[in-house]
Structure 1
Amino acid sequence: MSDARPILFFDSGVGGLSVVAPTTELLPRAPIVYAADSAGFPYGTKSEAEIAARVPALLGRLVERYRPRLVVIACNTASTIALPAVRAALDVPVVGTVPAIKPAAAMSESRVIGVLGTEATVRQPYVDDLAARFAGDCTVLRHGSAALVMLAEGALAGVAPSPEAVAGELQGLFGQPGGERIDVIVNACTHFPLLEGDMAAVAPAGVRFVDGGPGIARRIAYLTDRQDWPEAPVAGRLVFTRLGARERAIAATLATRGFPVVEAL
């Protein structure tokens, strides 16, 4: 039987596409609805109270409209702040996104890792807990960057990020005491893997990057195992909470990447 219920991905912007990509590799026939809270973008500079109130309400509206089989909060900031409230409010499975500190610690030889996220994410106690549990023998340096989020959004809108701007943001990690020993960087914002090539080009030789996208994709595949999918791939839907000039530029790019349908919430 064919089951057309989609997987709903949610982020403040387009960062969650770094989670969609590995998911569609594992589940090529899965219908995808990608929702970007462009009216609330960016989340990383907002207060915890704002995010905790906004995200469950928006996801409630999205679930009511699109009736997904699964919701993915493809945003580290929203996940670390609002995931419990969202799970309590919705009657569908919800998968969150957490910084990939555990695999980074397993990869690191210098035992110094960097966590690169939004300002809201890197200050969360949840990150303290992950570092204590999985990287107790590592020095974990953190840097919150709103600029990299904007650069990633701009890249999909057709504005290439400058190497100088990217290098300046990475210096927020490498410029800290002990930062010269970092050999693994956790991309703790789903926007940042979209710039991984740009960051690798200006980072010191040998520095590796890791993110949670592949692990989240495996979790989605596990939770939907044995479920039916449409016989053929279905065009993805792109949903914005505000559809302005920036969003239309992004939509034009994503129309060639499997998201030809654009809607406003």
Structure 2
Amino acid sequence: MADRRPILFFDSGMGGLSVLAPTAALLPRAPLVYVADSAGFPYGTRSETEIAARVPALLGRLAERYDPRLIVIACNTASTIALQHVRAALDVPIVGTVPAIKPAAEISRTRVIGVLGTQATVRQPYVDDLAARFAADCTVLRHGSAKLVDMAEAALAGERPSVAAVREALAGLTTQPGGDAIDVIVNACTHFPLLEEELAAATGALVRFVDGGPGIARRVAHLTEGQQWPEVPLPGRAVFTAANARTARLAPALARLGLEAVESL
């Protein structure tokens, strides 16, 4: 019989859909479960201690409930803080999401890179290490924006932000000393690719954005190579840790990605 165990994607909100989508494109028969910790959203303004305790405990409950073959922590903040804790706690393959500083450094011509994430992500020592290892000859500027996260969540529900509002939210990065020389920006939050068009319009054609979604999809495909999948794709599931009016508005966007069933944990 075909293996019906799903791939489980986890994020604080809806940003992880930017990782789920390329994975679904590579593995069209893979059963998918998407979990948004709506009760804990947003992670970017929470403390490291709180995230390090919350994420492994929650993923433990989810692993028992859904029996995933693999878990993707589709959240930069959760990954940079809690990835090792989760791997120590669970006997399930875990794929994390980390800022794409290496590919950004490979394509930057000005050698000035922006790292755009949440406040919690951009201050992590993990980001220091990535910059030192892969962008030592670059100036790496960072900015954490809770406003952009909120804009991305609203955009998924059909409320697109204005380019002016996005440009204002980016000002904390672009107006730093040397910010006018940035030619590559790392989307160090999985929410931000949901604002791809607005970000491009706000920064202009000379700035490129990179994120880890396609690379994570290839990693998942590699780790599941040779495994069995259902012959006919199963309806995907979206799971919220707290259902509310905001999550209800997301149903159409979820359905477009094949997440037809909506559940609460």
Bin of the TM-score, shorter chain as denominator length: over 0.9
Report Cα offsets for 1:89-119 as digits up to 9, x if no partner. Answer: 1111000000000000001000000000000
Q: Secondary structure at the match of 1:9?
A: strand
Structure-2-length-normalised TM-score: 0.98
- Tell me the CA shift for residue 256 of structure 1: 3.0
- CA RMSD after TM alignment: 0.8
Report Cα offsets for 1:188-217 as digits up to 9, x if no partner. Answer: 000001111110011033100000011111
1:101 alignment partner in structure 2: 101
In the TM superposition, 1:1-265 aligns within 5 A as 1-265=1-265
Q: Secondary structure at the match of 1:91?
A: coil
- Tell me the CA shift for residue 252 of structure 1: 3.2
Aligned pairs, number: 265
Tell me, yes or no, if the aligned pair for 2:141 and 2:173 is still in contact at 8 Å: yes
Structure-1-length-normalised TM-score: 0.98
Tell me which amino acid in the other structure corresponds to 1:82: A
Q: Secondary structure at the match of 1:238?
A: strand
Structure 1: 5+ residue runs without aligned partners?
Answer: none
| CA distance in 2: counterparts of 1:239 and 1:198, whole angstroms | 28
Tell me which amino acid in the other structure corresponds to 2:169: E
Q: Secondary structure at the match of 1:142?
A: strand
Tell me which amino acid in the other structure corresponds to 2:250: I
4+ runs of 1 displaced by more than 2 Å?
none
Structure 2: 5+ residue runs without aligned partners?
Answer: none
- Tell me the CA shift for residue 233 of structure 1: 1.4
**Identical counterparts, % of pairs:** 74
| CA distance in 1: counterparts of 2:196 and 2:178, whole angstroms | 22
Tell me which amino acid in the other structure corresponds to 1:17: L
Report Cα offsets for 1:132-159 as digits up to 9, x if no partner. Answer: 0000000000000000000000011221
| CA distance in 2: counterparts of 1:51 and 1:251, whole angstroms | 27
- Tell me the CA shift for residue 251 of structure 1: 2.1
Q: Secondary structure at the match of 1:260?
A: strand
| CA distance in 1: counterparts of 2:9 and 2:89, whole angstroms | 17
